[in-house]
């Protein structure tokens, strides 16, 4: 029973970490349900860290601001990917379109990193320690034990 609880906890917290760091894309298709998953993941993280209502509000604002900042870049990235694919199909040089895609990805990584940094800044020292310990456990994705609340 204890191992099952740890496994379920680990799976949930892995989803939380992944959603908070990577799930900033918009649109439909295979990512249509990510908004719902992200909201659930944020609730799990808030519960795990014991965030106050003020911290939850600040975290939501931080993530919403990051999403808003990322949206125009994601639109540009979609066009850049299409240009790269067109260059490949046409047998044209791909260095410039590939560099454009890379630059846009870099901008998205920067937005996400800044949001994560802002989120970490609203945590108490105890919450930050708990988050760091959790991230150390899942950092390489090979652990099977979830941190216990």
Mean pLDDT value across residues 61-79 = 96
Interval 99-122 mean pLDDT: 96
d(CA 81, CA 75): 10
The per-residue pLDDT for 71 is 97
Check pLDDT > 60 for residue 104.
yes
Is residue 113 within 8 A of residue 121, CB to CB? The reply is no
Would you list the DSSP string of 122-136? TS-HHHHHHHHHHHH
pLDDT band for 42, please (50, 70, 90 cuts): confident
Q: What is the secondary structure of 31-48 as a DSSP string?
A: GTTHHHHHHHHHHHHHHH
Q: What is the pLDDT of residue 43?
A: 84
Helix then strand count (H, E) for the chain reads 5, 0
Q: Is the pLDDT of residue 25 over 50?
A: no
Q: Which of 49, 59, 18, 21 is nearest to 147 (CA)?
A: 49
């Amino acid at each position: 029973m204890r191992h099952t609880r740890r496994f379920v906890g680990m799976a949930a917290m892995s989803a939380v970490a992944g959603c908070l760091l990577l799930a900033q894309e918009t649109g439909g298709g295979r990512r249509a349900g990510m908004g719902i998953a992200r909201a659930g993941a944020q609730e799990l993280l808030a519960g795990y860290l014991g965030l106050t209502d003020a911290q939850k509000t600040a975290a939501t604002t931080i993530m919403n601001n990051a999403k808003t900042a990322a949206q125009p870049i994601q639109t540009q990235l979609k066009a850049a990917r299409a240009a790269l694919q067109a260059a490949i199909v046409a047998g044209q040089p791909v260095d410039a379109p590939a560099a454009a895609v890379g630059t846009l990805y870099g901008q998205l990584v920067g937005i996400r990193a800044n949001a994560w940094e802002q989120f970490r800044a609203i945590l108490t020292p105890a919450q930050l320690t708990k988050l760091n310990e959790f991230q150390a456990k899942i950092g390489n994705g090979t652990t099977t034990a979830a941190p216990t609340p």
